[in-house]
Structure 1
Amino acid sequence: MTTEGSLSISRRGILGAFAATAITAAPTFSNAAGFLRGGGDIRRLRMYSGRTGESIDTIYWIEGDYIKEAVKEINYFMRDWRTNGVKSIDTRTIDIMAASHNLLDANKPYMMLSGYRSPQTNNMLRSRSRGVAKNSLHMKGQAVDLRLGDRSVGQIAKAAAACRAGGVGRYSGSNFVHMDCGPVRTWGR
């Protein structure tokens, strides 16, 4: 915000300008875990939602610090669109998504199918599908279901699994990958 006679520059504005000029190399599969431990100077998340028509492109971490405003925006973006319920998304899940995107060297944003799910939404989905867990990590803000237009389910799952930071489920028939910050495990084909 600027006023006559004074200039005020926000941290977010500075970070945006920095990000616009920064060039970073994508990590390889072999150093994915190092990236999650802080090997990168900035972390960025790009997604859109076909359900709400919204999109997000934000730097949420820089030089060891999460940017509270950006994480708050991510929490809102990943809300349960059916109930409009918002939950704090575990930053470990956000980091897995960002690291996987970098490993894929992808330019397109993720399409988010499901982030936070309220218990009501989870129960409704369970009644329609055997693939929805009763105690889903989606209800804790620790899971996300994603697709990436220019990458296969197998490629996305391989990148997420390379992070060795949580669960990765391949749902090839439905064309999406589940990522969470729970125990390290994989499933699906």
Structure 2
Amino acid sequence: MKNCGTIQLSRRAVLGAFAATAVAAAPTYSNAAGFLRGGGDIRRLRMTSARTGESIDTIYWIEGSYIKDAMKEISTFMRDWRTNNVMTIDSRTIDVMAASHNLLDVNEPFMLLSGYRSPETNAMLRRRSRGVAKNSRHMKGQAADLRLSSRSVGQMYRAAKACAGGGVGRYSGSNFVHVDCGPVRTWGS
């Protein structure tokens, strides 16, 4: 058998090529769920909580269907840690988080800084900071504030923005990115 010149690609090189192609193609998708199409038959979410010390690593979607128990587990994980109140987290927000995490090509789980916020918690945070919206999507279970130690805020922001699945805020001074499933928009520095 003749050797016609074999090209050997590492797994990282293949994933890097896929990620570059996916980022270039991302603007053609209208939301994160669309962005995840073709990415396999499963969707997975991995996070740790900076506030509770808990971790989650769950497959929440298989072959076109959300897994009810996994979605409930994610909602409980993303609860308001101050009041222990749980709100169902919008699947679109979860899809944006999973899609942006996939684009970043990291093994490190997201660090969740804030998921669901009760109206009481949101009001308290508003009294302490001008950056907290009165009608925050956090109170509707539609937002998350995330951090990765292995990626910059700019990298996380660009990955979430590429999903075109909602709002993306860059908070470089506080080292986190806000993602939500509201109208597509961006802000921050």
TM-score, normalised via structure 2 length: 0.84
Q: Which runs of 5+ in 1 are unaligned?
A: 1-23
Which residue is 1:39 aligned to?
Answer: 38
Which residue is 2:10 aligned to?
Answer: none
Distance 2:109 2:65 in 1: 23
Secondary structure, aligned partner of 1:135: coil
User: Residues 80-113 of structure 1: CA distance to partner in whole angstroms, max 9, x if unpaired?
Assistant: 0000000000000000000000001111000000
User: Residues 53-91 of structure 1: CA distance to partner in whole angstroms, max 9, x if unpaired?
Assistant: 100000000110000010000000000000000000000
Distance 1:167 1:31 in 2: 19
Which residue is 2:65 aligned to?
Answer: 65
Q: Which runs of 4+ in 1 moved over 3 A?
A: 24-27, 31-35
Code of the aligned partner of 1:36: A
- Aligned 1:17-56 pairs, distance under 5 A: 27=19, 28-32=22-26, 33=29, 36-37=33-34, 38-40=37-39, 41-56=41-56
More relative contact order, 1 or 2 (CA 8 Å, 6+ apart): 2
Which residue is 2:76 aligned to?
Answer: 76
Q: Size of the alignment, in residue pairs?
A: 166
- Aligned 1:30-179 pairs, distance under 5 A: 30-32=24-26, 33=29, 36-37=33-34, 38-40=37-39, 41-179=41-179
Distance 2:62 2:113 in 1: 27
Distance 1:141 1:120 in 2: 14
Q: Is the 8 A contact 2:32 2:165 kept in 1?
A: no
Distance 2:136 2:144 in 1: 11
Q: Is the 8 A contact 2:32 2:96 kept in 1?
A: no
Q: Is the 8 A contact 2:32 2:164 kept in 1?
A: no
Distance 2:121 2:38 in 1: 37
User: Residues 132-151 of structure 1: CA distance to partner in whole angstroms, max 9, x if unpaired?
Assistant: 00000000000000001100
Q: Which runs of 5+ in 2 are unaligned?
A: 1-13
Which residue is 1:18 aligned to?
Answer: none
Distance 1:50 1:187 in 2: 24
Secondary structure, aligned partner of 2:178: strand
CA shift at 1:35, angstroms? Answer: 6.4
RMSD of aligned alpha carbons? 1.5
Q: Is the 8 A contact 2:165 2:181 kept in 1?
A: yes
Percent of aligned pairs with the same amino acid: 73
Q: Is the 8 A contact 2:42 2:62 kept in 1?
A: yes
